Amino acid sequence: VKKESNKVIKVEAKIDGKVYIIKGNASEEHIKAVAEYVDKKIKMITKNRPNLSRSKATVLAALNITDELFRLNREYEELLNLLDEGDSNS
Amino acid sequence: VKKESNKVIKVEAKIDGKVYIIKGNASEEHIKAVAEYVDKKIKMITKNRPNLSRSKATVLAALNITDELFRLNREYEELLNLLDEGDSNS
């Protein structure tokens, strides 16, 4: 596993029509992909509900992404548990 | 793995001081935990930067959560790859 550098970089990205300067110690590619993901989620939500306010759409996007995070986390834990069971049988 | 019910439920949750009715086919417990997570993230971000607007704080929270999702996804993929390698050696 390649260790990520601790150098903080700044990346400019447009989210929901506004420009944000995002600071992070990840790669520029990673930060841009993260910003693009949030932007797409907000667009997806407002597309289906054009009357929704922008702030509500952003909250819904955050809820949506957190739901994905929790589900993936559960799958990850299940996979780790399977590995543990495998170890104890060997 | 227990299959989740397809019944859509509505859960009321407060996020950043506003009440949201969140619809989902997950359990009430899951939806509440998701809402609480987003609320906590926004609070954490505004705590450190009291002058930040609420909409910007929500966007930053969404970026933060997406960053976690991407990192966990990478770890999950790495774990799956390790398992594949283990299979080919056996």
**ipTM of this predicted structure:** 0.88
Nearest-angstrom CA–CA distance, A73 and B79 = 13
Q: Which residues of chain A make contact with B67, given a CB cutoff of 8 A?
A: 24, 26, 30, 34
Please name every residue paired with B58 in a beta bridge, in sequence order, or none if there are none.
none
Please report the pLDDT score of residue A4 as a whole number.
54
pTM, entire model: 0.88
Cα dihedral B46/A42/B38/B63 (nearest 10): -60
Q: Which phi-psi region, left, alpha or beta, contains residue A16 (left: φ > 0; alpha: ψ -120 to 50)? A: left
| Closest CB to B63 among A38, A78, A79 | A38
CB contact under 8 A, A66 and B65: yes
Mean of per-residue pLDDT scores for chain A: 90
Give ∠ CA A35-A60-B54 in degrees, rounded to 5.
75
Sign (positive/negative) of CA torsion B80, B83, B89, B90?
negative
Residue B10 pLDDT > 80: yes
Nearest to A42 by CA among A6, A70, A22, A13: A13
Task: Mutate one of B11, B18, B22, B38 to test the A interface: name it (highest A CB count within 10 A).
Answer: B38
Residue B43 pLDDT > 90: yes
CB contact under 8 A, B58 and A58: yes
CB contact under 8 A, A59 and B38: yes
**Sorting pLDDT into bands at 50, 70 and 90, what band is B3?**
low
Sign (positive/negative) of CA torsion B46, B51, B56, B60?
negative
CB contact under 8 A, A62 and B55: no
Q: Which residues of chain A make contact with B70, given a CB cutoff of 8 A?
A: 30, 33-34, 37
**Sorting pLDDT into bands at 50, 70 and 90, what band is B85?**
confident
CB contact under 8 A, B38 and A61: no
Residue A1 pLDDT > 50: no
**Mean per-residue pLDDT for B37-48?**
95
Please report the pLDDT score of residue B69 as a whole number.
98
Please name every residue paired with B20 in a beta bridge, in sequence order, or none if there are none.
B13
Residue A49 pLDDT > 60: yes
